[in-house]
Chain A
């Protein structure tokens, strides 16, 4: 498999799509091998949940298979995968929030910490909580989890993918003003929260 994966990663997207269109299993192996980590990482950043991200990633690849005849691999499959992954993630999280009647309020660390430590929450321990607050990435991650899916998606696409706001607006099918408004609200919230966290810690 390692050898196959190495071979797969040498293929261009055009070759991968051609193999898939011919029905070759090697094409599907290459498709998954080359693009799974990217799609999964993107979904995970927008959704914040490993399980949901795996489900959405699977759905993205199923859609890729269904659209194989229409996919344009030039110059890369990444833009298509990115668009489908982000929009599916937003829809999934919006639906989940709507069903729950609110945005998810459980911190990400708590959700994953419980899975790793048999349900023991570090939030019950003030020392551990302080340590987590001092961990900048952990704090940002927890704060980002409180944003709406659209706000998270805009931040991830702008800061992580390096997309300009007009490109994000096209990708998400939103007006440019709405995209900028999502970004601005998210940054304002994060700035306020980071300042508050700093004050709580006496920094």
Chain B
């Protein structure tokens, strides 16, 4: 007959508290701690730690953000989406390429050339937009301004060379 001692149970206590234990092992641990004060005390400590984490994660929340900030952010995101830096969207690309192929199929050489050039420009803009960092819109958090101020501060500390 297999006897299960505290040494076997100890590694399972944490899993039991976290609820990450197979049902069979859970029953074994539950049965053991019913009769063992030491393991019961250990399990209570694990349960407490788990409970504290869960309570903090559920209860803790940052101070709400100013609605005006959210409003500015939404406007800035809208401007960002509409800015040419992002290039054409994928559906626009597909539409242009489709138009190019359609015109080519219809037999109009000049039309096909125009649509082909437009599609090539779109692909170039899309590729460069995908690899270029997105410019921060003006109303969003002024990270760039903060960095500029830090750089200016460093310059002032070093001593700005006299102009002129």
A64 to B43, CA, bound (A): 43
The digit string for A151-194, where 1 denotes a CB below 8 A from any CB of B, is 00001101110000100000000000000100110111011001
A68 to B64, CA, bound (A): 26
Chain A residue nearest to B86 in the complex (CB): A66
**In the assembled complex, how far is the CB of residue B16 from the closest CB belonging to chain A, in whole angstroms?**
12
B18 near A187 with CB under 8 A, answer yes
Across-interface contacts of B81 in A (CB, < 8 A): 20, 23, 28, 65, 68
A78 at the interface (CB under 8 A from B): no
Chain B residue nearest to A191 in the complex (CB): B49
A40 near B73 with CB under 8 A, answer no
A25 near B74 with CB under 8 A, answer yes
Contact count band on A: 35 or more
A28 near B141 with CB under 8 A, answer no
Across-interface contacts of B58 in A (CB, < 8 A): 159-160
B113 at the interface (CB under 8 A from A): no
**In the assembled complex, how far is the CB of residue B48 from the closest CB belonging to chain A, in whole angstroms?**
6
B2 at the interface (CB under 8 A from A): no
A129 at the interface (CB under 8 A from B): no
B96 at the interface (CB under 8 A from A): no
A1 to B61, CA, bound (A): 23
A187 near B60 with CB under 8 A, answer no
Across-interface contacts of B163 in A (CB, < 8 A): none
**In the assembled complex, how far is the CB of residue A165 from the closest CB belonging to chain B, in whole angstroms?**
7
Across-interface contacts of A31 in B (CB, < 8 A): 74, 77
Across-interface contacts of B77 in A (CB, < 8 A): 28, 31-32, 61-62, 65
**In the assembled complex, how far is the CB of residue A185 from the closest CB belonging to chain B, in whole angstroms?**
10
B65 at the interface (CB under 8 A from A): yes
Across-interface contacts of A66 in B (CB, < 8 A): 86, 134
Across-interface contacts of B50 in A (CB, < 8 A): 159, 187
